[in-house]
Amino acid sequence: MKQAIPEDGTLLPLMEEFYTIQGEGFNTGKAAYFIRLGGCDVGCHWCDVKESWDAEMHPLTSSDVIVENADRFPGKAVVITGGEPLIYNLDYLTYKLKERGILTFIETSGAYPLSGNWDWICLSPKKFKAPRPDITPFAHELKVIIFNKSDFKWAEEYAAMVSPTCKLYLQPEWSKSKEITPLIIEYVMANPKWEISLQTHKFLNIP
Ligand SMILES: C[S@@+](CC[C@H](N)C(=O)[O-])C[C@H]1O[C@@H](n2cnc3c(N)ncnc32)[C@H](O)[C@@H]1O
Ligand SMILES: Nc1nc2[nH]cc(C(=O)O)c2c(=O)[nH]1
Ligand code: SF4
Ligand SMILES: [Mg+2]
């Protein structure tokens, strides 16, 4: 039977939650509690968490319980990721986290309407289902995955849409990183408004 997901955000399909170090982007190196929500229809062929795609596979979990769990750890920051977390209304979850003084960070493709109250929005646009243009001014960080040479052009299109203070990152697609990373290095040296982001948690063998 299809699980009914209430629209008020009090129950969310939770794939996993874990306390670790943010491995990517601007907040790399900071302790954070990760909340991974199930469900995504963006369809990146290189997605490193395809097990997240089917929301039905992940139990509907009380947002209050998720907040309790997050508050057990000393690092008072959460990263809400997925799957595509913005499929869901995240107003309730982020309100409850902020009530406890926990910082709220999101990893999103931007393909769904923005909800929630965020201290940090990492927008990672995808060609397979482009972001809604209305999210771009709110991104604190643009993190474009580079799989082939044509992705640099795609990255520049989004850099032109985000706010002038938005941090700009190019991140090699993991399976192609041996070939792609030298191109990113060259690109960043020639275009220093960009920085490299590596998936450092994969090198550190942590979640
Ligand atoms: C798994 S996604 C979940 C959040 C959201 N759906 C998104 O794509 O932003 C988390 C981050 O991992 C990145 N990512 C996913 N697969 C990757 C891969 N194979 N190599 C590098 N980065 C990857 C995404 O671009 C995103 O920034
Ligand atoms: N350590 C760690 N950092 C991350 N940054 C973004 C991740 C994600 O899958 O959203 C991720 C992840 O899965 N682990
Ligand atoms: S949008 Fe994110 S979760 Fe969805 S397929 Fe792409 S990388 Fe994976
Ligand atoms: Mg990941």
The predicted complex's ipTM stands at 0.99
For residue 174, report the distance from its CA to the centre of ligand 4, in Å: 10
From 171, 174, 175, select the one nearest 184 (Cα to Cα): 171
pLDDT value of position 5: 87
pLDDT value of position 65: 98
Is residue 1, in this structure, part of any structural domain at all?
no
Is residue 160, in this structure, part of any structural domain at all?
yes
Asked if residue 179 lies in contact with residue 3, where contact means CB atoms within 8 angstroms, the answer is: no
Backbone angles phi, psi at 60, to 5 degrees: -65, 125
pLDDT value of position 79: 99
Is residue 45, in this structure, part of any structural domain at all?
yes
Task: Output the domain CATH number for residue 165.
Answer: 3.20.20.70
Asked if residue 52 lies in contact with residue 83, where contact means CB atoms within 8 angstroms, the answer is: yes
Ligand 3 near 121 CB (within 6 A): no
Is residue 18, in this structure, part of any structural domain at all?
yes
Residues touching ligand 2 (Cβ under 6 Å) are 20-24, 49, 81, 107, 201, 207
Three-class SS of residue 120?
A: strand
**Residue from 44, 57, 81, 108 to probe ligand 3 pocket by mutation (most atoms less than 8 Å from CB):** 44
10-residue mean pLDDT series, the chain (207 residues): 84 98 98 99 98 98 98 98 98 98 99 98 98 98 98 98 98 98 98 98 98
Domains identified in the chain, total number: 1
For residue 48, report the distance from its CA to the centre of ligand 4, in Å: 6
For residue 3, report the distance from its CA to the centre of ligand 2, in Å: 27
Q: Identify the domain containing residue 59 by its residue range.
A: 11-204
Indicate the residue type of 34. Answer: F
pLDDT value of position 1: 55
Indicate the residue type of 137. Answer: P
pLDDT value of position 113: 98
Residue 81, annotated ligand binder? yes
Is residue 140, in this structure, part of any structural domain at all?
yes
Is residue 5, in this structure, part of any structural domain at all?
no
pLDDT value of position 30: 98
Residue 80, annotated ligand binder? no
pLDDT value of position 3: 72
pLDDT value of position 45: 98
Is residue 122, in this structure, part of any structural domain at all?
yes
Report the alpha-carbon distance of residue 20 to residue 174 in Å, rounded.
Answer: 19
Is residue 4, in this structure, part of any structural domain at all?
no
